[in-house]
Every structure is written in structure tokens, then in C-alpha cells.
């Protein structure tokens, strides 16, 4: 079938329906996607024509060959509006056009069966502009990840009809066809590549084997194993320094009774800090392994700032609410970055709340915020929200951590089904409850934690609300 815009369509009748079997257009040898007329000659070859050229499909099937002819081969040179192909009984084909008539016999056409001579003339790197043509297997820096290939083919019969097909073997199994004699590949990822190029002559005879050019783009240093090892060692050193600073703070308490209680509380907090840092180190390692370089740099910068804050607070039993909020906000920004901003969070404070005069146990709220993100929101589909609300009621600071996650029951079920759930347990919430117990032992009734499961109107889990109540007259022990 001849079409105006789709080239030639080979169709079949299947189950009393016309089904397209194959398409021939400019991508595989036709001069254009316009086919004004089509006929089958006495040799069962298919002829078609557009506004300025004729094409023939020889031996349709497995060994088919598509060839085009234009004015250089003897056709009418003028652009014509209409075309009708007709065939005499002796096999002569007539082309009836609006500008005149042309005739020929298919058996009288001599075909060029010699493939063109193909050569890759030059290979240039986009980063430095350096020619690497003489290198059989070039190795390039990650900065020189753009290449330009220049090639040419020789066909003395009709050089204007030479066509090329190229591909990067590792990126695309399909060939790209072009009349251009150069091609650019930009911003290639590190790896090994093989550039392949082939060409056909004026009668669509292709070179038997494509030319190949092998090259390698090295990985950037931040993706190398030694760089990841340095980052992990650096983080481990910082952790060790924090732990040592926390241990030294145990020796500075005044009375034996106070020392015993404070040592117990600080021992718990010393466990909590490594627990928190361990999760952050895992996040940094994940961004490095998944090659998210910018995210790794951003995460490491924020993480170092958070470590400095944790170090400042490690020797204090109590810190101001303002300092605790600053730590939580920084922690939330790190978690939002790690989870690719998949959840939203907000922190709401009562206007009358004096953030600098109210003191709270350091890093007490972080485990509940972590639970809301990791167990409530991370397992939820759709919109994910986390709200932190602070207000003063009857001499107490009320902290509400509210999420619209899957709920505690579903989170526990998911955790049990994970590989290794029996060997690992979350320590953050358990440690926070122990700190509340010690705080109440020293100051009875000064702290309370309540967890409320939320449900929608249909009785389905709709999230979790944690209410932490602390006395506003807690004294600081710096």
C-alpha cells in the first residue's frame, strides 16, 4: 500500500482483517515517507515513487534490498504533483507524471553491488578538544565524557546517496540512520563503550561488517571504593570523638546521688547518639553507592553540622527548647533529603511559648520523630505528612508528634516480615522511655509519654499521635 506520510505498508489479511506486516520509509532506504503509486513488476519486485524519485524493493522477504533512483539515474528532474505507475505486458514500466512521462525496463537497470569503503577519520573529546584517533582503545577522564566521531565512505557511482548507520553498542541495540558524516555523544556515564558505524552505496548495499572503535570513561574519584572508605573512616572518627566527649562528661557531677542518676541517664544518651549517628551514616553510604553525588555532599554537610550540635549537647542533661527544635529541624531536613522529599513536615509553636526559658532533656523527641518517619510514613503510599506541635498547658510543655502513616499495628507487621527482623531491634524509643523513667525518679510527675493510635471513619488505621508532657520548671545541669 502506498501512503502519504507512512511510506510503503506491507499488509496481510488475517481473520478477515487487514493487518500491517511491515513498513518501509526513509529510515530503511526510501527517499521519503511519501509514496504516490505502487506496482509489482514481472520479477515480483515492488516499485513505488514519490514527487522526485522512484524506489524498488528487490526480493521482498529475508534477502530484500531497497534501492532508490533520482534525476541522476535518468528520471524527470522537475518536481511533479502526480504520479501513476503502469506496466506493459512486456514488463516495461511507465511513470505518468504531471510534468511528463518516463519509461524503463526493470531488466535493463544495472545495480552497483560493491559496498562503499568506510573509514573513521577522526575522534575528538568534547571536554578537552583533544584528538584520540590514533588510539585503538582510548581511556578517558570522567570530565571528557563527550565525544565526536567523524567518518566517511567512498562510492564513485553516486556519492550523494551514501547513507550511514551508527550506534553505541552498550546503550542501544538499534541502529540510527543518517546522511551526516559526524555524530556527537554527550555526557556519557562512566563505563566501557563500543562505537559501531556502517555505510551503504547508492543501491543500498551495506558494508559487510561495521567498523568499531572501543573507548572507556573512568569513574570520578568520589565513586571509587577508596573515597567511600575515607568518608566512612572520617565519620567513624567523628563518632568516636563524640563518644569520648560523652564519657568524659560523666566525671563532672557534684554529689554521689546526683552522679549515680546522671551517669545512668548519660549512659542511655550515649547509646542513643550512636543509634542516631548509625542511621545517618547508612544514609550517606546509600547516596554514595547509588551515585547521588550532590545529595551525598549536601547530606554530609548537614550531617557534620548536626554532629557538632550533638557534641555540644552531649555533656548537658537539659538544653533549651530552642536548641532542641533546631536539632529536630536539621534532623528532619536530613531525613527529607534521604527520602527524596517524599514526605512533608511542619513545626507549630504557641506564640506565648518562651523557647529560651524552657528546658527539655536533649535529643528526647528525636526517636519518636524517627519512628514516625521510618515506621509510619515510609511504608505509606500517597500523601505523607508529619506535624510537630508545641504548647504550654497548666505549667507543662506539651509536645505532639502526629503522622498520617500506616499505624503501629501495620508497621509492626511489616517489620516482622523483613529479613533479619529478629536480629535487629530499634533502640531509640526504648531508650527514650528509660530516660523518662529516670527523670520521674529524680523529679516525680515531671514527665509523661502517651501514644494514641488514630483511625478514620471506616475504622482503618490513619496514623499515630505521640504526646510528650514535660514540666516547664526542669533545671539545667550544664
β 46-49/54-58 pair status: antiparallel
Question: In the Cβ-directed half-sphere of 420, how many Cα atoms lie within 13 Å?
Answer: 3
What is the rounded CA–CA span in Å between residue 194 and residue 169?
6
Give CA 167 to chain center in angstroms. Answer: 23
pLDDT for the residue 314: 67
- Per-residue pLDDT of 367-412, as tens digits, reads 888 889 888 888 888 899 999 999 998 889 999 999 998 888 888 8
* CB contact at 8 A, 327 and 305: no
Cα end-to-end span (Å), the chain: 89
pLDDT for the residue 353: 86
Which residues of the chain, if any, have pLDDT below 50?
Answer: 253-254, 256, 260, 421-425, 477-478
- At residue 199, the 3 state secondary structure works out as strand
pLDDT for the residue 113: 83
Domains delineated in the chain: 8-108 (2.40.10), 117-217 (2.60.40.10), 221-471 (3.30.565.10)
Does the pTM surpass 0.75? The reply is no
pLDDT for the residue 275: 59
Number of alpha helices (DSSP H) and beta strands (DSSP E) in the chain: 7, 24
Beta strand residue intervals within 126-204, DSSP E:
137-140, 147-154, 163-168, 176-178, 182-185, 191-200
Pick from 350, 357, 337, 372: nearest CA to 465: 372
pLDDT for the residue 478: 41
What Rg, from alpha-carbon coordinates, does the chain have?
A: 37
CB count, 10 Å around CB of 341? 8
pLDDT for the residue 271: 52
Amino acid at each position: 500500500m502506498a501512503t502519504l506520510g507512512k511510506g510503503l505498508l506491507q499488509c496481510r489479511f488475517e481473520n478477515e482483517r487487514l493487518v500491517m506486516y511491515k513498513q518501509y520509509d526513509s529510515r530503511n532506504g526510501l527517499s521519503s515517507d511519501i509514496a504516490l503509486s505502487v506496482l509489482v513488476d514481472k520479477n515480483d519486485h515492488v516499485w513505488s515513487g514519490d514527487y522526485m524519485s522512484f524506489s524498488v524493493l528487490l526480493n521482498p522477504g529475508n534477502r530484500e534490498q531497497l534501492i532508490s533512483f533520482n534525476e541522476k539515474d535518468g528520471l524527470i528532474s522537475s518536481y511533479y504533483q502526480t504520479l501513476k505507475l503502469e506496466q506493459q505486458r512486456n514488463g516495461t514500466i511507465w511513470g505518468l507524471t504531471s510534468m511528463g512521462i518516463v519509461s524503463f525496463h526493470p531488466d535493463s537497470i544495472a545495480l552497483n553491488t560493491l559496498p562503499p569503503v568506510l573509514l573513521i577519520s577522526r575522534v575528538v573529546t568534547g571536554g578537552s578538544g583533544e584528538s584520540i584517533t590514533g588510539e585503538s582503545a582510548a581511556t578517558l577522564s570522567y570530565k571528557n565524557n563527550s565525544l565526536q566521531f567523524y567518518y566517511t565512505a567512498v562510492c564513485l557511482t553516486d556519492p550523494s546517496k551514501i547513507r550511514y548507520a551508527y550506534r553505541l553498542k552498550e546503550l542501544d541495540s538499534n541502529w540510527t540512520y543518517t546522511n551526516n558524516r559526524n555524530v556527537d555523544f554527550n555526557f556519557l556515564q562512566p563505563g566501557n563503550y563500543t562505537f559501531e558505524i556502517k555505510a551503504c552505496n547508492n543501491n543500498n548495499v551495506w558494508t559487510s561488517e561495521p567498523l568499531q572503535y572501543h573507548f572507556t570513561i573512568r569513574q570520578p574519584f568520589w565513586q571509587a571504593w577508596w573515597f567511600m572508605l575515607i568518608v566512612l573512616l572520617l565519620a567513624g572518627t567523628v563518632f568516636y570523638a563524640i563518644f569520648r566527649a560523652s564519657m568524659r562528661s560523666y566525671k563532672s557531677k557534684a554529689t554521689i546521688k546526683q552522679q549515680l542518676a546522671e551517669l545512668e541517664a548519660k549512659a542511655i544518651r550515649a547509646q542513643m547518639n550512636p543509634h542516631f549517628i548509625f542511621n545517618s551514616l547508612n544514609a550517606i553510604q546509600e547516596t554514595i553507592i547509588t551515585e547521588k553525588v550532590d545529595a551525598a555532599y549536601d547530606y554530609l554537610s548537614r550531617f557534620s553540622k548536626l554532629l557538632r550540635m550533638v557534641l555540644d549537647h552531649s555533656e548537658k542533661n537539659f538544653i533549651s527548647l530552642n536548641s532542641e527544635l533546631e536539632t529536630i529541624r536539621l534532623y528532619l531536613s536530613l531525613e527529607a533529603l534521604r527520602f527524596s522529599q517524599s514526605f512533608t513536615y511542619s513545626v507549630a509553636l504557641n506564640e506565648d511559648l518562651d523557647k529560651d526559658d524552657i528546658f527539655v532533656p536533649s535529643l528526647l523527641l528525636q526517636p519518636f520523630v524517627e519512628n514516625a518517619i521510618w515506621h509510619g510514613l515510609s511504608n505509606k503510599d500517597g500523601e505523607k505528612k508529619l506535624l510537630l506541635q508545641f504548647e504550654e498547658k497548666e505549667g507543662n510543655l506539651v509536645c505532639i508528634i502526629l503522622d498520617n502513616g500506616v499505624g503501629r499495628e501495620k508497621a509492626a507487621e511489616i517489620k516482622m516480615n523483613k529479613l533479619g527482623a529478629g536480629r535487629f531491634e530499634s533502640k531509640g524509643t526504648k531508650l527514650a522511655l528509660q530516660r523518662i523513667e529516670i527523670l520521674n525518679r529524680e523529679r516525680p510527675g515531671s514527665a509523661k509519654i502517651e501514644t494514641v493510635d488514630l483511625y478514620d471513619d471506616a475504622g482503618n488505621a490513619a496514623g499515630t499521635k505521640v504526646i510528650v508532657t514535660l514540666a516547664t520548671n526542669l533545671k539545667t545541669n550544664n
